[in-house]
Every structure is written in C-alpha cells, then in structure tokens.
C-alpha cells in the first residue's frame, strides 16, 4: 500500500526496483527489496504499471501504462516518455500465422552530443 502511494502520488514516473526500495527506506517504510519486486509485479499484472525492457540489465517500471514510447539516454540510464502522438509507426508488418501483435515498443536511444 505504501509503495502504491509512493509510485502514483508523484505523477508519471519510471522506477527501478532499487530506486523504489531506496525511496521507501528513506521514507522509513521498512521493506525488503524482494517485497518491492513482488509488489511491482503485482501492480504490473493488474495493469497499473508497465514493465519496460530497455537495456540488458535492470528493468524499469513505468507508472504510465498507456500506449506511448521512450527515449533512453545511454550511459545515463535515464528513461523519458515520448508522448504517444509524437511517434508514428507506419507499415507494421503482418504478424506471422497464428500470432497476434501484443504491443509495439519503440525505444529512441540517445547519446550525449559532444562538443
């Protein structure tokens, strides 16, 4: 419950399990990391969160579960929403026989411009 409030009270956010864990700890809510994971998964199953896989290691949970895409800043590991309307995917290929499209994820990978 407390975790729920932390997640959704502040508007759209992208959290990693560890980030939420630290936040909870700082807020003197005593939970273990495992509990944070379990809670995040439960919210995800119910459709309140969306799990975003963007780089190999950690995974992000997005409190904005609606259709939209992401910027991902390499090296900084920051994830930023792109409003759904700003990306338009044309010409989606047909799904192979027997399968249907569950979701389309677009990740725009950013790199800090040098100079």
Partner DNA sequence: TTTTGTGCAAATCGTTTGCACCGTT
Partner DNA sequence: AACGGTGCAAACGATTTGCACAAAA
Determine, following the binding rule CB under 7 A, whether residue 38 of this chain makes contact with DNA. yes
* Residue 77 neighbours by CB distance under 10 Å: 13
Residues 101 and 83: their CA atoms lie apart, in Å, by 21
Determine, following the binding rule CB under 8 A, whether residue 90 of this chain makes contact with its own copies. yes
Among residues 22, 23, 25, 31, which is the contact residue for DNA, using CB under 7 A? 31
Determine, following the binding rule CB under 8 A, whether residue 77 of this chain makes contact with its own copies. no
Instruction: Choose among 35, 65, 34, 36: nearest CA to 49.
Output: 65
Residues 18 and 69: their CA atoms lie apart, in Å, by 23
Binding site for DNA (CB under 7 A): 16-18, 30-35, 37-39, 41, 56-59
Give contact residues for its own copies (rule: CB under 8 A): 51, 53-56, 58-59, 71, 73-74, 80, 82-83, 86-93, 95-96, 98-113
């Amino acid at each position: 419950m407390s975790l729920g409030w932390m997640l959704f009270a502040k508007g759209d956010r992208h959290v990693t399990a560890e980030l939420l864990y630290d936040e909870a700890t700082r807020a003197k809510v005593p939970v273990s990391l495992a509990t944070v994971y379990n809670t995040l998964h439960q919210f995800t199953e119910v459709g309140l969160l969306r799990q975003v896989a963007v780089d190999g290691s950690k995974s992000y949970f997005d409190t904005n579960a609606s259709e939209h895409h992401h910027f991902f800043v390499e090296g900084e590991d920051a994830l930023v929403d792109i409003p759904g309307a700003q990306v338009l995917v044309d010409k989606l290929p047909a799904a192979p026989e027997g399968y249907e499209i569950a979701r389309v994820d677009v990740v725009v990978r950013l790199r800090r411009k040098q100079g």
